[in-house]
């Protein structure tokens, strides 16, 4: 029994999404454990412990959600919704990049209490995503407006802002809350500018 080409592409896209979801789920689990589980293995909900890891956790969460959401929408837009030819190897390229990004998010979740390490990992995710976005645009949307270009611009602005915060000389213990705000604003801007991309059915109902 054979299946048509569109169904085969759909199954391949679904496989990539599942792999990414597994790593993202693991990253979220590890981050929660890092936040609330003490060195003795018991749950520690003391204010001192929660406050130490909260800025990195919030920044991690505000990065993870739109990246997971955006990856799924990118796969839909690039392989299922867009008609026409799909470049050979494009899905494998996307899969590899998404897996690398998810791996850095996993490290970020694991290192919430390691100073600025989580923020460095998030910065690497933004950098990788920016490079991937410029390449992906040429593969899928050359000569058109695309969500990946918007992501790249937002990531560049957020990444440069975070870099300045890291290198500017002020107490290192004050930097996590400021970097957390950058991560929150980045995601708010992302959803604000890309609302119709993230929620196409909602946008269609509003238009009607």
201 to each of 5, 60, 100, 197, 206, how far by Cα in Å?
26, 28, 30, 9, 9
| pLDDT tens-digit series, residues 79-132 | 887 766 677 788 889 999 999 999 999 999 999 888 899 999 999 999 999 999
Q: How would residue 207 be classed by pLDDT, with cut points 50, 70 and 90?
A: very low
| pLDDT tens-digit series, residues 29-82 | 999 888 877 666 666 666 666 677 889 999 999 999 999 999 999 988 888 877
**Mean pLDDT across the chain, nearest whole number?**
85
Q: Which pair of tokens denotes residue 139?
A: 């593969």
Residue showing tokens 């992906």: 136
> What is the spatial distance between Cα 132 and Cα 137, in angstroms, rounded to a whole number?
8
Domain locations in the chain as residue ranges: 5-198
Q: How would residue 6 be classed by pLDDT, with cut points 50, 70 and 90?
A: low
**Which 3-state string (H, E, C) describes 123-174?**
HHHHHHHHHHHHHHHHHHCCCCCCHHHHHHHHHHHHHHHHHHHHHCCCCHHH
Full-prediction pTM beyond 0.75?
yes
Instruction: Answer whether 158's CB lies under 8 Å from 169's CB.
Output: no
| pLDDT tens-digit series, residues 157-185 | 999 999 999 999 888 888 999 999 999 99
């Amino acid at each position: 029994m054979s299946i048509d080409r569109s169904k085969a592409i759909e199954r391949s896209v679904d496989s990539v999404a599942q792999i990414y979801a597994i790593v993202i789920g693991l990253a979220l689990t590890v981050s929660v454990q890092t936040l609330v589980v003490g060195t003795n293995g018991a749950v520690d909900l003391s204010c001192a412990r929660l406050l130490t890891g909260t800025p990195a956790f919030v920044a991690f969460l505000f990065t993870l959600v739109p990246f997971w959401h955006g990856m799924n929408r990118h796969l839909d837009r690039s392989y299922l919704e867009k008609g026409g030819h799909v470049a050979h190897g494009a899905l494998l390229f996307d899969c590899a990049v998404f897996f690398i990004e998810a791996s850095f998010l996993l490290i970020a979740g694991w290192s919430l209490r390691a100073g600025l390490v989580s923020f460095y990992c998030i910065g690497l995710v933004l950098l990788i995503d920016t490079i991937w976005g410029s390449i992906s645009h040429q593969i899928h949307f050359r000569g058109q407006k695309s969500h990946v270009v918007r992501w790249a611009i937002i990531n560049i602005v957020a990444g440069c802002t975070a870099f300045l915060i890291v290198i500017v000389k002020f107490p290192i213990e004050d930097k996590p809350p400021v970097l957390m705000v950058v991560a929150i604003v980045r995601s708010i801007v992302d959803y604000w500018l890309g609302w119709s991309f993230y929620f196409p059915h909602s946008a269609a109902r509003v238009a009607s």
